[in-house]
Amino acid sequence: MTAPRKLFVKTYGCQMNVYDSERMTEALGGEGYVATDKADDADMILLNTCHIREKAAEKVYSELGRLRALKDINPDLKIGVAGCVAQAEGEEIMRRAPLVDLVVGPQSYHRLPAMDRAVRAGERALDTDFPLDDKFDTLTDRPKARRAPAAFLTVQEGCDKFCAFCVVPYTRGAEVSRPADRVLREARDLVEAGVVEITLLGQNVNAYHGHDGGLAGLIRDLAKIDGLERIRFTTSHPNDMDDALIAAHGDCEKLMPYLHLPVQSGSDRMLKAMNRKHTAEQYLKLVERIRAARPDLLLSSDFIVGFPGETDADFEATMDLIRAVEFGQAYSFKYSTRPGTPAAEKPQLPEGVMAERLARLQALLTQQQHAIQDGMVGRTVKVLFEKPGRIAGQMIGKSDYLHAVHAVAPAAAVGQVLPVRITSAGPNSLGGELIA
């Protein structure tokens, strides 16, 4: 009997890449691969890359340089680059890194089995097409093996917004939504495998149109699945937050009270330069409507500091918006150029100015986050326990509000949603007591 080949996948970036890495592993399972968590033990190494952050491509080449030693030891080792850097720079990767055997874009990874056969025959394989065939139709059904209690499920890909700072429309393509029946089937399979919480993923997930009722309609149908106790979604665009989705936050019990709603800036001048197509006032009014539907909702957002042309007044407008909203969580970054995007051609702000603004913004966001976490002490929340903690007898999970929570609980608590009274708040997690 032939021993299985071992596949090591290193995942960079967003939750969608986590989902894609799982599907790549499943696709190559049919070629005789099994997953390994050790690169030096692998027959194939895949780097599933992200192009959002600064110097993403150079980080990939640095990683490839480190992998060269493994290929020197094992000449039969196959190395592949997948994801958004592969999409953006596929031919350059093949030219610049001869040790790479295959390069595959995020819309073509269903073709990995054929590419694997090609590289095993001594060829190099490159596929960064936006193929007409639906990769989700081609991929095999999800394995029924027991899974962790929380899972990601991609329902939408691509973006038509063309924000001036973003490469997603170029690396992931136009907005495409998976048909609702296929999403529901995959969700049922996940629940059968032990999943009780599903996070719906999309570059612009609330633009989902694979259901007659949009994302809200899909969520309501998912809520009918026995055994599925929690639903989340990310990442959203303010312009696609429709009435039905706002209403779902108020009356769909399984939809968790957490919403990631990126705004990027509080300055209308900057929002226009970013091509966001909404104003700060429109964002604030939207937040009011959502909180009217779900008063306890925890809001998260994204912020870019130092976008080309940002003045002190523009930055202060962002600080004012943060004070007005009070975010429970946020992701904030200094602007960094993405080649090929409109903003990359504009004069850049001095590094020192961006660093000082980012430090001030993050201090305010941290203050808000800690205040909200401190306010959880004494409250009872429902926690989905996911794994044991580092301390004996301690279990770790996520609250309704996506806070990490640790509490003493039996091992059998994994996969269960249980009530926990919060007794302490730390900088990154909450402590609690299980309520019998």
Binding-site residues from annotation for [4Fe-4S] cluster: 14, 50, 84, 159, 163, 166
- Residue matched to tokens 């991609």: 154
Half-sphere exposure (Cβ direction) of 6: Cα atoms closer than 13 Å: 11
**Phi, psi angles (nearest 5°) of residue 85:** -65, -40
Residue 251 · residue 224 · CB < 8 Å: no
Q: Which residue ranges are tagged as binding site?
A: 14, 50, 84, 159, 163, 166
Helices and strands (DSSP H and E) totals, the chain: 13, 19
- Residues 385 and 412: their CA atoms lie apart, in Å, by 9
- Residues 9 and 36: their CA atoms lie apart, in Å, by 8
- Residues 178 and 211: their CA atoms lie apart, in Å, by 9
- Residues 69 and 63: their CA atoms lie apart, in Å, by 11
* CB atoms closer than 10 angstroms to residue 408: 15
DSSP state of 177: E
Alpha helices by DSSP H, listed for 201-311, are 214-222, 243-251, 268-273, 280-293
Q: Report the Cα–Cα distance between both ends of the chain, in Å, rounded.
A: 51
Nearest to residue 95, comparing CAs of 124, 55, 63? Answer: 124
Nearest to residue 177, comparing CAs of 138, 206, 198, 152? Answer: 206
Task: Give Rg (Cα) of the chain.
Answer: 22
- Residues 433 and 436: their CA atoms lie apart, in Å, by 9
- Tokens (6 digits) for 35: 């997953």
- Tokens (6 digits) for 136: 């989700």
